[in-house]
Structure 1
């Protein structure tokens, strides 16, 4: 997989992005500048948590980011895509989109259930 595919923000679900932004936030990585100067152990810890988190496992998905440069490039592209300038804004933006996504899923399931019930 090429570097640009690994850092393409469109390949990550809202769930993936929300989790990453939460992990960055709780580890006080608020800006690209913070990410530039991150301690390697902290970077490895965040990456490991992102890859092994239950929500990632539930999707049977493999997070392909392996290097700090890949994470920085992805983060930069995520900030651009969601038109925000820090981790907290990214988390907030994606959180509300994720809630909407879940509400749509619930509505579809409700409709399917009603259709099955009435058939």
Structure 2
């Protein structure tokens, strides 16, 4: 996978992005400036948590970001894509999009279930 693919926000699901933004937030990385000065051990911890989190493994996502430069590039692109300026706003924006996504999935499953019930009549 090329660097451009690794750092393309469209490569990641809303679930992936929400988890990343939450990991950055709980590790006190509110801005790009703070991310740029992150301790290497903390970077490794965040990336490992992101890659090994139950939501990532359930979705069969493969996170291939391994370096600070890759993470910074992705972070910058995420801020641009979602038109936000910091980690907290990114998390909030993606959270509401994820809720909408889940509501749409639930509605679709309800309709599918109703159609299945009606076929049996």
TM-score range, shorter chain: over 0.9
Is the counterpart of residue 49 in structure 1 residue 49 in structure 2? yes
1:78 match: secondary structure:
helix
The two structures have a TM-score, normalised by structure 1, of 0.99
The gaps in structure 1 that reach 5 residues or longer are none
Moved over 4 A (4+): none
The within-5 A match list for 1:21-36 is 21-36=21-36
Cα distance in structure 1, aligned partners of 2:103 and 2:55: 18
The gaps in structure 2 that reach 5 residues or longer are none
Is the counterpart of residue 81 in structure 1 residue 81 in structure 2? yes
Cα distance in structure 2, aligned partners of 1:2 and 1:11: 12
Question: What's 1:70 paired with?
Answer: 70
> In the TM superposition, what is the alpha-carbon distance from 1:24 to its structure 2 partner?
0.1
Cα distance in structure 2, aligned partners of 1:54 and 1:70: 22
> In the TM superposition, what is the alpha-carbon distance from 1:64 to its structure 2 partner?
1.1
Question: What's 2:102 paired with?
Answer: 102
Cα distance in structure 1, aligned partners of 2:40 and 2:28: 14
Question: What's 1:40 paired with?
Answer: 40
The two structures have a TM-score, normalised by structure 2, of 0.98
Cα distance in structure 2, aligned partners of 1:71 and 1:62: 15
1:61 match: secondary structure:
coil
> In the TM superposition, what is the alpha-carbon distance from 1:93 to its structure 2 partner?
0.2
> In the TM superposition, what is the alpha-carbon distance from 1:61 to its structure 2 partner?
1.3
